[in-house]
Amino acid sequence: MKLKPLGDRVVLKHLEAEEKTKSGIILTGAAKEKPQEAEVIAVGPGTVEDGKKIEMEVKVGDRVIYSKYSGNEVTLDKEDYVVVSQKDILAVIE
């Protein structure tokens, strides 16, 4: 099964959280914070506002940072994804 987002929505897959801090402290499962860094898996076609087509600024494969409390979590084929609106994506990592 495949996720196909509608409008200005983007499907993201979390990137693995760091197991260790920069100082070398190993984090347990409870201490790890949910990563805000993700990979773009699918992109919607865009949307129309005030009669103008709003193009999508991200593409499949981009690594992005998104708002902490945004989106809807979805599990499909035992994989976890987050579906967010394009406006909830804060930056593309280059």
Tokens of 50: 């005030």
Give pLDDT, residue 33.
Answer: 56
- List the beta strands (DSSP E) in the chain: 9-14, 37-43, 47-49, 52-54, 63-66, 72-76, 79-85, 89-93
Task: Give pLDDT tens digits for 25-78.
Answer: 666 554 445 668 999 999 999 998 899 998 999 999 999 999 988 899 999 999
**pTM passes above 0.85:** no
Q: Which CATH number fits domain 9-93: 1.10.10.10, 3.40.710.10, 2.70.98.10, 2.30.33.40?
A: 2.30.33.40
Mean pLDDT of 11-25: 73
Q: pLDDT band for position 21 (50/70/90)?
A: low
